[in-house]
Amino acid sequence: DAIIMRSTEVTMAVPTMTLGVVIMAIFGTSIINLLIVMVISYWMNFARVARNEVIAIRGREFVQASRALGATNSHIMFTQILPNVTTSLIICTSNCFGSVILTESTLSYLYLGVQLPTASWGNMIAAGKDFMAVAPWTVIVPGVALMMAVMGFNFLGDGLRDVLDPKQTR
């Protein structure tokens, strides 16, 4: 636990864009390397949420009752703890989606992410920036689409938190 939490703190200390530029510059631009950047940049959010939820749930009465009835650790983990942690991880996923989209778009704008001819909002904005004076829609349309997608995932995360959070009173 201590090793994983210290590694999350170290990972969180490295800015995502710096890590992305370094990995893409060293290993080349490919979708696999982009996925590696995303995993390294965002895994700690899930680890911290899961750890905090497990710590909060493992002391609850229903877990202690299962343990008193003779349930094994794996049975408690999969039937008692995992279903209660899943909701928080779903909310964390929807909240991270916007950041992942922005990271990919930024790296693609810098020509370090998804390469042409694969479509990416970052590629579209980068290709249209030279034509801003004559055809501003070449940047505005993908920029607005990017903004709407990120806002949509952020609103989805907020809505999921409102609907799925059992601690909230209505």
**Could you check whether the bond before residue 15 is cis, i.e. omega within 30 degrees of 0?**
no
Which domains are present in the chain?
Answer: 2-164 (1.10.3720.10)
Alpha-carbon distance of 60 to 81, in angstroms, equals: 10
Alpha-carbon distance of 128 to 126, in angstroms, equals: 6
CA 67 to chain centre: 34
Whole-number pLDDT of residue 127: 87
pTM metric for this prediction: 0.79
Give mean pLDDT in consecutive 10-residue pieces for the chain, a chain of 170 residues.
87 88 88 89 89 88 87 87 86 87 90 84 89 89 93 88 68
Whole-number pLDDT of residue 147: 94
Whole-number pLDDT of residue 81: 87
Burial (CB count <10 Å: 0-12, 13-18, 19+), residue 48: middle
Whole-number pLDDT of residue 88: 85
Whole-number pLDDT of residue 145: 94
